[in-house]
Amino acid sequence: MAPSIERQGYWGRPTSTLDWCEENYVVSFYIAEFWNTVSNLIMILPPICGAIQTFRDGLEFRYICSFLGLAAVGVGSWCFHMTLLYEMQLLDELPMIYSTCVFVYCLYECFKQEKGISFFPIALLLIFSVLVTVVYLQWKEPVFHQVMYGALVACLVMRSIFIVTWVYPWLRPLCYTSLGIFMLGFLLWNIDNIFCDSLRASRQTLPPGVGVVTQFHAWWHIFTGLGSYLHILLSLQIRSTYLKYRPKVKVSFFMLYLYCCLLLFILLFNHSFVNFSFPAVTLFSLCVEFGPHCTLNHRRRAEVKGRGPAEGW
């Protein structure tokens, strides 16, 4: 991160404790960090579709909460990067903790009976969320939030690797794809923080359509959003397999989705928030229509008696 370049925008002077590497109010008078804002679409639209599909398929409510939690993170991140206000920063960062707690519950309770609710892990995660919230509101240190979020992600990684190593090894491709995409986003997030000055200098010399590709915090949103989406599908697959459903995850048009998002960024470059071009809107519709179309066909139970090979760790 680097000190923001003083530019007047619609939302006034930033009050957040973080100001990322993207120059403020360069593309739009109404959006402080344009690319960091619009890149959150991948964390908003696909999870909403996933929540709707999960509801239609009659899956457990915890997975609807997982998808909606990811969408809430996307909405909060949109508001934060659009305004750079402290209140909106909390709307971004705190849902990251809450939604990841839902992910942890789903993954650690995947080998329990159908429609069963374990109150102890719920209480434990609720206490953790409250404590993190109270401490973070009093001690406005972003590193504290990052460490707490990292600890939750580490729990997910360890549990996922355990399951695909010892319980369902055929799920390794989905697990490692989700993990690899998320870690790629984390790598770009660190590059954006460490080499911010160099990146800003390079954007002054690169053509606009190329310089936008160096907005690595926006890529962090894209890759972590997609990685988190795939993680929810992995959790669904594990749960449905244990319950003796016949799950099938189908991923199509993945590369087309990322390609369309990149073209969307280029087409929108130098357009203000209120001056979206018609080709850009059309292309955005294409991204929604041909995004990562992932479905979980779980309705047919396999004709296998008994329960899964493990009851947990």
- C-alpha 202: how far from chain center: 28
Under 8 Å CB-to-CB from 29, ≥6 apart: which residues?
Answer: 9, 10, 272, 273
Lookup: tokens for 286:
């294409």
pLDDT at 1: 54
Asked if residues 202 and 214 have their Cβ atoms less than 8 Å apart, the reply is: yes
Provide the percentage of residues in the chain whose pLDDT is more than 90: 65
291 pLDDT higher than 70? no
64-100, pLDDT tens digit by residue? 999 999 999 999 999 999 999 999 999 999 999 999 9
pTM, full prediction: 0.82
Going by pLDDT thresholds of 50, 70 and 90, the confidence category of residue 150 is very high
Return the SS3 of 144.
helix
Return the SS3 of 279.
helix
pLDDT at 295: 43
DSSP state, residue 111: T
pLDDT at 268: 52
